[in-house]
Structure 1
Amino acid sequence: MSLIAEDIRVSYGGREALSGVNLTAQPGEVTAIVGPNGSGKSTLLGAITASLPYHGRVCLNGRDITRMKPWELASQRAVLPQASRLAFSFTVIEVVRLGLQAGTAGDRREVPMLALARVGLAGYADRTFQELSGGEAQRVMLARVLAQVWSPFEDGQPRWLLLDEPVSSLDIAHQLQVMELARNFARAGGGVIAVMHDLNLTALYADRVAVLAGGQSLAFGAPSGVLTDEILSRAYGCVLRVSAPPPAGVPYILPHAASA
């Protein structure tokens, strides 16, 4: 049971945004997609979630997603977009309950409150969504998708979190909280695919990393084999140096020169 994207091609107005990209994500792992702006990261996630037209094949837990009904997709994977806007003045708990209605835990009325607590917003249930800060709103939406796939592994199948820049509006402490949440979801048997900009967080939390550039895949594998000077410098168009200082040995990335 895995999530497999094969030969994914996406075009916008005659321009090819993705050129035959492949990606395989396994349950029990956090798979990160990284690359510069315009490299195709969010486009790839959009194809995987079937939120935009694509050529190729995407299989979720052994089934082609084009042959799955919307309710089947909603029961097996939850999608966090880059940004969410609401036209009506919903309360926070009402927003989180939307995930409960779409997913498999609809009979567990305690799940929305548990999801809010998990993202550090236990006292926010009765606030309106519009009064939240950007970071708070992002965590409410994360609580919504958590409620949708509350059990990472159920009925013999993994559930999936598909996250597009899940920490973009968050401070350092909440970035770590969200990435820990993603890693714990994977450790419990689910699968996570996350579009990431922060290479240090990627090195810390990802089990596998896909590096995209120019709509193509440059590398895919464990962080230690993919987050290298040569691959990252090619991807980002500037000189980067990767270091693994003792004692932890976790790679971190620093710009080496400001010129391209």
Structure 2
Amino acid sequence: MSLVAENIRVSYGRRDALRGVSLTAQPGDVTAIVGPNGSGKSTLLGAITASLPYRGRVCLNGEDIQTLKPWQLAAQRAVLPQASRLAFPFSVIEVVRLGLQTGTAGDRPEVPMQALARVGLAGYADRTFQELSGGEAQRVMLARVLAQVWAPVEDGQPRWLLLDEPVSSLDIAHQLQVMEIARDFARQGGGVIAVMHDLNLTALFADQVAVLADGACLAFGTPQEVLTDGTLSHAYGCALRVSAPPPRNIPYILPHAASA
């Protein structure tokens, strides 16, 4: 059981956004997709989630996603987009319950409150979504997708979290919290694919990393294998050194998991 993307191609008019990208994500792993702006990270996730047209093949737990009905996809994977906007004044708990209604834990009404507690928002259930800060709203949406696939493994099949920049609006402490949630989901047998910008967090939490540039995959492997001076400098178009302090004794801060 895995999530396999084979030779994925996406075009916007005459521009090729993805040029034959392939990767395989395994349950039990956090698979990160990194690369500069415009490299095709979110486009690749859009193809994997079947939210945009693509050429190639995507298989989820052994089945081509093109053959699955929307409710079958929703039962196997939950998607956290980059940004979510709501036009109506839903309460926080109502937003989280949307995940419960589309997922597999619909007979467990306690799950939404547990999901809010998991993201550190236990006291926010009755607040209006629109009054939240950007970081709080992002964590509410994470609670929604957690409620959708609450059990990382169900009926012997892994469930999947597909996350597009899950820590973009968060401070360091909440970045670590969210990544630990992803790590724990994988530790229990689920699969996680996350589009990431922070290379330090990627190195700390990811099991496998795909480095994209100009719509192609430059490297795929463990952080130790692919987060190298040469690969990253090529991908980002600037000189980068891995695990080297800056010159002139300038302080720099690296996040470390609380459990490390």
| TM-score normalised by L of structure 1 | 0.94
Q: From the superposition, tell whether residues 131 and 253 of structure 1 become closer, same or farther in structure 2 (CA, over 3 Å).
A: closer
Q: State the number of aligned residues.
A: 248
Which amino acid counterpart does residue 106 of structure 2 have in structure 1?
G
* Partner residue, 2:66: 66
Percent identity for Structure 1 against Structure 2: 85
Give me the whole-angstrom Cα distance separating, in 2, the residues matched to 1:244 and 1:70: 47
SS in 1 for 2:56: strand
Q: Give a deviation string over 1:153-203, Cα, whole Å, max 9, x none.
A: 010100000000000000000000000000000000000000000000000
SS in 1 for 2:173: helix
Give me the whole-angstrom Cα distance separating, in 2, the residues matched to 1:110 and 1:6: 39
* Partner residue, 1:131: 131
User: Mind listing any 5+ residue stretches in structure 1 that lack a counterpart?
Assistant: 246-251, 255-260
Q: From the superposition, tell whether residues 244 and 28 of structure 1 become closer, same or farther in structure 2 (CA, over 3 Å).
A: farther
* Partner residue, 1:76: 76
Give me the whole-angstrom Cα distance separating, in 2, the residues matched to 1:7 and 1:93: 40
Runs of 4+ off more than 3 Å? none
User: Mind listing any 5+ residue stretches in structure 2 that lack a counterpart?
Assistant: 246-251, 255-260
Q: Give a deviation string over 1:191-224, Cα, whole Å, max 9, x none.
A: 0000000000000000000000000000000000
Is the CA contact 1:152–1:190 (under 8 Å) kept in the aligned structure 2?
Answer: yes
1:208 equivalent in alignment to 2:230: no
Give me the whole-angstrom Cα distance separating, in 1, the residues matched to 2:3 and 2:109: 29
TM-superposed deviation, 1:253: 11
TM-superposed deviation, 1:230: 0.3
* Partner residue, 1:242: 242
Is the CA contact 1:32–1:209 (under 8 Å) kept in the aligned structure 2?
Answer: yes
1:155 equivalent in alignment to 2:147: no
* Partner residue, 1:258: none
1:144-223 matches, within 5 Å, as 144-223=144-223
Give me the whole-angstrom Cα distance separating, in 1, the residues matched to 2:253 and 2:66: 39
Is the CA contact 1:81–1:164 (under 8 Å) kept in the aligned structure 2?
Answer: yes
1:4-83 matches, within 5 Å, as 4-83=4-83
Is the CA contact 1:9–1:19 (under 8 Å) kept in the aligned structure 2?
Answer: yes
CA-atom RMSD in angstroms: 1.4
* Partner residue, 1:249: none
TM-superposed deviation, 1:244: 7.5
Is the CA contact 1:240–1:253 (under 8 Å) kept in the aligned structure 2?
Answer: no
* Partner residue, 2:232: 232
SS in 2 for 1:89: coil
TM-superposed deviation, 1:13: 1.4
Give me the whole-angstrom Cα distance separating, in 1, the residues matched to 2:103 and 2:226: 35
TM-superposed deviation, 1:243: 1.4
TM-superposed deviation, 1:14: 1.3
SS in 2 for 1:147: helix
SS in 1 for 2:105: coil
SS in 1 for 2:37: coil
Give me the whole-angstrom Cα distance separating, in 1, the residues matched to 2:33 and 2:253: 16
Give me the whole-angstrom Cα distance separating, in 1, the residues matched to 2:118 and 2:87: 26
Q: More deviation in 57-66 or 236-245?
A: 236-245
* Partner residue, 2:101: 101
SS in 1 for 2:108: coil
